[in-house]
């Protein structure tokens, strides 16, 4: 009897300009702490593979997109990331060597997606930080969303990112004002005028029906 197909969302990322970091070892330690925080929230922690590249694999496209959002927000003020997400079949899996023992279209498409990000960074106009390839009719819609999302995030400072993360975690603006040492009106102004509220409300696009193969 044929084994059922396993469809996954693979994520490949790297640190932009890591070679120019004044303390690469400190940067890697800080990034690993971020990876652990993302793992606590989503059940899968990204891991470094070679150099400044990291990888993770999630059951759904929605979870992979959420991971990319958290990674961008949690590294604001620390470094810049670029990521590619690929949806497809997982053909080979070796849990003892994860993620090195894995192969399949999900990984091939994630590699293609991050190469799209790398290529766009050398062009003009809007700069991509995340791209996705699912080989479905939703690719254009998802990539347009990611481009707009990451453009909004590129304008955040560390406070904006902390507000976004707090609201994602279910905290109220009043609670965030106390934690950040701001008045509530300042938090509200940032949340609306800097696009934080829109960013959070637009997350529903990440749960489009791609839990089965195309």
Helices within the chain (DSSP H only): 24-42, 61-74, 105-120, 139-154, 158-168, 173-180, 184-193, 196-201
Is the four-CA dihedral 49, 46, 164, 139 of positive or negative sign?
Answer: positive
Let me know whether 103 and 172 are in one domain: no
pLDDT bin (cut points 50, 70, 90) of residue 209 is low
End-to-end CA distance of the chain: 22
Residue of 164, 171, 173 lying closest to 196 (CA atoms): 164
Structural domains in the chain (count):
2
Residue of 212, 208, 190 lying closest to 199 (CA atoms): 190
The number of angstroms, rounded, from the C-alpha of 157 to the middle of its chain's C-alpha atoms is: 17
How far apart CA 16 and CA 13 sit, in angstroms, is 9
Let me know whether 128 and 38 are in one domain: yes
Let me know whether 132 and 175 are in one domain: no
Let me know whether 73 and 102 are in one domain: yes
How far apart CA 85 and CA 71 sit, in angstroms, is 13
Last residue of a domain, one of 136, 165, 199: 136
Range(s) of the domain holding residue 163: 155-208
Token couple for 78 = 């620390």
How far apart CA 30 and CA 201 sit, in angstroms, is 29
Let me know whether 192 and 163 are in one domain: yes
So what's the pLDDT on residue 25? 84
Q: Is residue 147 part of a domain?
A: no
Give the range among 14-18, 71-75, 165-169, 196-200 with minimum mean pLDDT.
14-18
Let me know whether 58 and 109 are in one domain: yes
CATH code of 26's domain: 3.30.70.1230
Q: Is residue 2 part of a domain?
A: no
What's the pLDDT tens digit per position in 122-150?
Answer: 555 567 899 999 999 899 999 999 999 99
Answer whether 213's CB lies under 8 Å from 88's CB. yes
- pLDDT reading at 85 higher than 50: yes
Let me know whether 24 and 63 are in one domain: yes
Q: Is residue 107 part of a domain?
A: yes
Q: Is residue 213 part of a domain?
A: no
- 195's torsion region: left (phi>0), alpha (psi -120 to 50) or beta? left
Q: Is residue 149 part of a domain?
A: no
Let me know whether 189 and 87 are in one domain: no
pLDDT bin (cut points 50, 70, 90) of residue 17 is confident
Let me know whether 44 and 101 are in one domain: yes
């Amino acid at each position: 009897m044929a084994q059922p197909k396993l469809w996954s969302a693979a994520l490949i990322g790297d640190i932009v300009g890591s070679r120019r970091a004044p303390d690469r070892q400190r940067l890697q330690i800080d990034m690993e702490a971020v990876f652990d925080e993302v793992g606590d929230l989503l059940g899968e922690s990204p891991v470094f593979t070679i150099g400044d590249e990291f990888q993770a694999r999630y059951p759904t496209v929605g979870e992979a997109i959420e991971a990319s959002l958290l990674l961008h927000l949690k590294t604001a003020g620390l470094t810049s990331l670029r990521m590619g997400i690929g949806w497809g079949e997982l053909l080979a899996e070796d849990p003892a060597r994860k993620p090195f023992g894995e192969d399949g279209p999900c990984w091939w498409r994630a590699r293609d997606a991050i190469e799209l990000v790398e290529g766009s960074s050398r062009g003009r106009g809007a700069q991509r930080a995340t791209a996705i390839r699912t080989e479905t009719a939703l690719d254009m819609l998802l990539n347009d969303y990611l481009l707009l999302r990451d453009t909004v995030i590129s304008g955040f400072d560390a406070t904006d990112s902390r507000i976004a993360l707090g609201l994602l975690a279910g905290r109220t603006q009043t609670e965030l004002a106390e934690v950040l040492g701001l008045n509530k009106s300042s938090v509200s102004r940032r949340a609306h005028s800097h696009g934080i509220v829109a960013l959070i409300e637009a997350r529903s696009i990440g749960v489009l029906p791609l839990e089965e193969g195309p």
